[in-house]
């Protein structure tokens, strides 16, 4: 059983990974990331961390915060981990460019709620 107390730390891991992705996205073009496997899989890993941390959030937390599509995030994690050979760079880039900035304010809000800071 997942521990409620750990939700705060999982949100912190999500927020940290989001920040790394957003900070580094502005440093590289899509072409640079798609053309360099080390860069590409560095970005993949941070999206994967988000998915894994979401997967480990308690069921209660996810049920009380339905504004986020938790299942979609978990689904992305499964693809990245188990279907790593099928990852299309444009899909990863679109996730980072379109979905991650939308997710960030929710995670920041939830983290403040749980941590009190």
82 is catalytic: yes
**10, 27, 77, 78: which is the annotated catalytic residue?**
77
- Collect all residues with Cβ–Cβ distance below 8 Å to 69 and sequence separation of at least 6: none
**Of 16, 17, 82, whose CA–CA distance to 43 is shortest?**
17
**2, 10, 27, 82: which is the annotated catalytic residue?**
82
DSSP 88: -
- Collect all residues with Cβ–Cβ distance below 8 Å to 88 and sequence separation of at least 6: none
Cα 38 to Cα 44: distance, rounded to the nearest angstrom:
10
Cα 71 to Cα 26: distance, rounded to the nearest angstrom:
27
What is the token pair recorded at 87? 């990852």
Catalytic residues: 77, 82
């Amino acid at each position: 059983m997942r521990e409620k107390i750990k939700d705060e730390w999982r949100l912190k891991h999500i927020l940290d990974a989001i920040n790394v992705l957003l900070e580094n996205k502005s440093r590289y073009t899509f072409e640079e990331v798609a053309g360099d496997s080390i860069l590409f899989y560095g970005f993949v890993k941070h999206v994967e961390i988000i998915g894994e941390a979401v997967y480990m959030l308690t069921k209660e937390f996810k049920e009380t915060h339905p504004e986020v599509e938790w299942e979609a995030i978990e689904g992305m994690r499964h693809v990245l981990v188990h279907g790593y050979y099928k990852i299309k760079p444009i899909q990863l880039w679109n996730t980072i460019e379109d979905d991650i900035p939308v997710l960030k304010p929710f995670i920041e809000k939830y983290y403040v709620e749980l941590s009190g800071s």
